[in-house]
Each structure stands twice: as structure tokens, then as C-alpha cells.
């Protein structure tokens, strides 16, 4: 889901506020130092005067060698640091203040989105998915084995183990999970548990229901005015640290959805970006519903975990 212009503008206004706040911090620090160290201001004035003096001489051709200039500047810079340290200030106390040193609070590095901007954008997308509300109740702390027994319990334990392993190795191992099986057996719950942990580790997560994802792509694909937004949407989907597609198979399956699903799987794999898919379809239904190349991608690139048993939501209502 790509950002609207107003959402992007709101994020950039946040950067403006960050820059203003950090400039104010630096201004306050400067006043603090000037009050505590009278010689510091005089040293700064010497540096400015020296720069002007040598600049004029260099431009006029009076001097061609700047070694003496650099020597004096180094001495003055060292004096500034010593004055700060002797007064109990860190030597970098008056350096520019940045919340993100990489982009210097602009959101961009060499014309490309900084990681801090990417995360802000993803956070907006994430909040729109309403996962923040879901994850307050669906997380590993609320995990229970009480509604499973026999083979169903064994399947669930195996799926839980894979979920914990997925989180534990997320930063070192490229992996994908596909939860399949009957309705209400814990597939979406485990996906949400993983999402919560990955977000807590500081990674970005995007959640889509399958029907919502393909409706969105279709709307953008067939609206000529939305081509740029479609491109940004696809880039977010391809580059996000973790994408969760819930209820695969509930969307209208046709050539369009098959094509976009294959492209999505292929691009995520090329970039080694993990994906979690949940579906109520059986393996044979998956194979029949989607193209051979999609099913091949899934079986070769994903760890399959079956969940079985009664619908837990129904059991909870009964008890």
C-alpha cells in the first residue's frame, strides 16, 4: 500500500521538526559554552579571521602554499577541544546534532531513501493494516496448546517450533513459511505472533489479506493515473523486511492475480526478503488453483507447516 501525497508530506514535516529541534539544541549548547568558556568564542573568532585572511591571500596569489594555514587551523581546532574538555564538556559537544547521522535528518542519502525514512513509511503502511491492535492480543505470550490433542497437537507444536526458529534466525537466515490447513487452527495467529516479534526486533513488517492485496494491485494497475503509486507500492512489497499474506486463496484467482503473485514471490526471493503465507487450502487445492510455476516456487522456497483440528474460535465460544 503506497503512501498518499498527504502521508508523505506529513512524514517530511516530521523531518523538518526534527531538524528545527536539533538546531535549537545546538544553539542552546553554544550559548551554554559561551557563558562557561569566554575564550571559546574568541577562539572561534580567530578561526573565522584566519580563514578570511588566508582566503584573500590565496585568491590574490600572495601565497600558494597552505601548509601554514592548515597548521594554524589544526592548532586552533585542538584548542577548542581542549577548552571544552577542561570545562567538563564532551569535545564534540558543539558538533551538529542529528537524530539520524546517515541522512542528517533529511530522509535521503545520495538521492535515495534513508533507512530511517523507509522505516517511517513502512510504519505508516503497517499502522494502516490494523495489526497494531491485533498484536496486542495475538502474540507468543498468549499462545496455548489447550485446544489441540493427538496429531493436531503434534502439528501445532511443529508449527510453533518453526515460528520460534523463524524469529531467532531472522537476521542471519533467509527463510519463508507457509501455514496451511483447516479454518481456525492457528495459522493467522502464528503469523501475527511472528510479526510482533520481528517488529520488536526493529524490522519492518507489512500485512495484507490476499483479497485486499490483489484488489489494491488491480485498482492501481488499471488506473493510468496511479502508475507511479503502483511502482512505489511494489517497491515497498519487494523491499520490506517481512511481508505476511493472510488467507491466500480467498482472492479471485485469474491470470492477473497469478501473474502478480508469481512476480511477488520471484522478486522477494531475488532480494532474499522473507515472506509468510497462510491459507485454508490443502496442498492439492493449492496446486490445482495456481499455476505450476507458482506451486513450484512455493514448494522450493517455503517451509510448509500444516495445522489441523477443530476451529479454535468455535471451541472458545463453546467453553
Packed helices 67-86 and 38-60: angle between N→C axes, nearest 10 degrees: 170
Q: What CA–CA distances, in Å, run from 256 to 106, 198, 235, 261, 267?
A: 38, 31, 18, 9, 16
Share of the chain above pLDDT 70, in %: 92
**What are the boundaries of each domain within the chain?**
5-101, 129-318
- Check pLDDT > 90 for residue 6: no
The DSSP symbol for 145 reads: -
| Mean predicted confidence (pLDDT) in 234-238 | 79
* Record: fold of 129-318: Rossmann fold (3.40.50)
| Cell output for 312 | 479454535
| Strands across the sheet containing 275-279 | 205-209, 242-248, 275-279, 177-181, 303-307
Confidence of residue 245 (pLDDT cuts 50, 70, 90): very high
Instruction: Report DSSP letters for 97-139, one per residue.
Output: P-SSTTTTTSSEETTEE-HHHHHHHHHHHHHHTTHHHHTTTSS
Instruction: Find residue 243's DSSP bridge partners.
Output: 206, 275
Global pTM value = 0.65
Q: What is the dihedral of CA 40, 42, 46, 47, to 10 degrees?
A: 30
* φ, ψ dihedrals at 196, nearest 5°: -60, -45
- For 32-66, write each residue's pLDDT tens digit: 988 888 888 888 888 888 888 878 887 888 877 78
The confidence score (pLDDT) of residue 216 equals 76
Query: Cell numbers 577562539 label which residue?
Result: 43
- For 179-197, write each residue's pLDDT tens digit: 999 999 999 999 999 998 9
- For 170-183, write each residue's pLDDT tens digit: 999 999 999 999 99
Q: What CA–CA distances, in Å, run from 54 to 30, 43, 79, 201?
A: 26, 16, 20, 52
Query: Exposed, middle or buried by CB within 10 Å (0-12, 13-18, 19+), for 206?
Result: buried
The confidence score (pLDDT) of residue 1 equals 42
**Distinct helix (H) and strand (E) counts, the chain:** 13, 7
Query: Which residues lie below 8 Å from residue 186, measured CB to CB, with a gap of 6+?
Result: 156, 159, 179, 307, 312
Alpha carbons within 13 angstroms on the beta-carbon side of residue 170 total: 24
> How many CB atoms within 10 Å of residue 128?
14
Calpha distance 125→18 (Å, rounded): 21
- For 91-112, write each residue's pLDDT tens digit: 888 899 999 999 999 999 999 9
The three-class DSSP label of residue 308 is coil
Calpha distance 288→282 (Å, rounded): 10
Calpha distance 177→301 (Å, rounded): 9
> How many CB atoms within 10 Å of residue 125?
22
Amino acid at each position: 500500500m503506497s503512501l498518499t501525497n498527504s502521508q508523505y508530506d506529513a512524514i517530511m514535516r516530521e523531518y523538518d521538526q526534527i531538524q528545527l529541534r536539533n538546531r535549537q539544541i545546538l544553539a542552546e549548547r553554544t550559548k551554554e559554552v559561551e557563558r562557561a568558556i569566554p575564550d571559546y568564542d574568541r577562539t572561534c573568532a580567530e578561526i573565522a579571521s584566519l580563514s578570511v585572511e588566508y582566503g584573500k591571500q590565496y585568491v590574490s596569489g600572495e601565497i600558494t602554499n597552505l601548509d601554514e594555514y592548515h597548521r594554524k587551523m589544526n592548532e586552533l581546532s585542538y584548542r577548542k577541544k581542549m577548552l571544552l574538555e577542561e570545562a567538563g564538556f564532551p569535545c564534540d559537544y558543539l558538533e551538529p546534532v542529528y537524530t539520524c547521522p546517515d541522512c542528517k535528518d533529511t530522509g535521503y542519502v545520495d538521492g535515495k531513501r534513508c533507512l530511517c525514512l523507509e522505516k517511517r513509511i513502512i510504519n505508516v503502511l503497517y499502522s494502516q493494516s490494523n495489526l497494531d491492535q491485533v498484536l496486542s492480543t495475538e502474540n507468543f505470550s498468549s499462545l496455548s496448546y489447550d485446544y489441540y490433542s493427538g496429531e493436531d497437537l503434534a502439528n501445532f507444536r511443529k508449527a510453533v517450533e518453526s515460528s520460534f526458529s523463524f524469529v531467532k534466525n531472522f537476521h542471519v537466515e533467509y527463510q519463508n513459511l507457509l501455514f496451511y490447513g483447516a479454518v481456525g487452527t492457528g495459522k493467522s495467529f502464528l503469523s501475527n505472533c511472528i510479526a510482533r516479534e520481528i517488529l520488536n526486533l526493529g524490522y519492518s513488517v507489512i500485512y495484507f489479506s490476499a483479497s485486499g492485496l490483489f484488489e489494491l494491485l488491480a485498482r492501481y494497475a488499471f488506473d493510468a493515473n496511479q502508475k507511479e503509486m503502483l511502482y512505489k507500492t511494489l517497491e515497498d512489497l519487494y523491499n520490506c523486511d517481512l511481508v505476511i499474506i493472510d488467507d491466500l486463496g480467498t482472492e479471485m484467482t485469474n491470470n492477473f492475480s497469478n501473474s502478480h503473485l508469481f512476480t511477488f514471490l520471484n522478486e522477494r526471493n531475488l532480494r532474499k526478503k522473507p515472506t509468510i503465507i497462510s491459507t485454508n487450502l490443502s496442498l492439492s487445492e493449492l496446486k490445482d488453483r495456481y499455476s505450476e510455476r507458482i506451486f513450484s516456487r512455493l514448494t522450493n522456497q517455503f517451509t510448509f507447516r500444516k495445522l489441523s483440528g477443530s476451529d479454535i474460535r468455535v471451541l472458545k465460544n463453546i467453553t
